[in-house]
Amino acid sequence: MAKDIFLMNDQELFIFLNSLNSPFFDPIMIFFSKIPVWIPLYIGVMVWMFLKFGWKIGLAASLTLIIAFACGDQISNFIKSSVGRLRPCHDSIFDGIIHNLENAKGKFGFPSGHATNSICFALLSSLILKNKTYSILIICWSIIVSYSRVYVGVHYPLDILCGAIIGITIALIFNELYKFATNKISVKCGA
C-alpha cells in the first residue's frame, strides 16, 4: 500500500513537472539530454586537469573520472534491467497525456543513467579541481541534464533522485581512490 502511494505520487509529480514545457525550452532540454553534447565538456575538463596538475596527476584524475563514469553507467543499467520499471514514455497509462520529445531506446528507466553519470562527473570533477566557480556551474549543468530527462518524458522524478544518489555515492568513493592514488604518486615522485 505504501509503495503504491509512493509510486502514485512519483507519477503525479512527473505529470506536473513534464507539463511545465514550452516551445522555447523544448530544443534546450533536448540539447541537454543528448550525450554527445557532453563529450566536448568532458574533454575540456580533462585537459584542464592536465594543465592544472601536470601529466601524472592529470592522468590519474582523468582516468578516475572515466572509470567512475563507466561504473555509474554499468550500475544504473544493471539496476534498470533488474527492476524493470517502464519509462513513462513506454507506459500506456500516459498515452496522449505527457510531453514526449524523445524516443527512448530502452524500455526501462529506473534509475536514470543520465542523472547518475552527469552528477557523478560533476561532483567528482568538482572535488578534484577544487574551483568554486567551476563547481557551481558544473553542478547546475548536472541538475539541468537530470531535469531534462523528466521534461522530455523519459524518466520519473524518482528515477532522477535514485540516479543522483548512485552518482553521488560513486563520486565520493572514487574521490577517495583518487586521493589515495595521487598520494602514492606524490610519495613515489618525492613531491
Question: What are 47-88's pLDDT values in tens digits?
Answer: 999 999 999 999 999 999 999 999 999 999 999 999 999 999
The answer to whether the CB of 110 falls within 8 A of the CB of 164 is no
- Residue of 84, 89, 143, 93 whose CA lies nearest to 111: 84
User: What is the maximum alpha-carbon separation in the chain?
Assistant: 64
Supply the pLDDT for residue 33: 92
Q: pLDDT by residue (tens digit) across 118-162?
A: 999 999 999 999 999 999 999 999 999 999 999 999 999 999 999
Supply the pLDDT for residue 104: 78
Q: pLDDT by residue (tens digit) across 34-44?
A: 988 889 999 99
Supply the pLDDT for residue 8: 60
Q: How confident is the model at residue 95 (pLDDT cuts 50, 70, 90)?
A: confident
**pLDDT of 112 strictly over 80:** yes
Alpha helices in 25-152 (DSSP H): 25-33, 35-53, 55-83, 113-129, 132-151
Burial 122-151 (b: 16+ CB within 10 A, else e): bbbbbbbbeeeeebeebeebbbbbbbbbbb
Region of residue 86 (left: phi > 0; alpha: psi -120 to 50; beta: else): beta
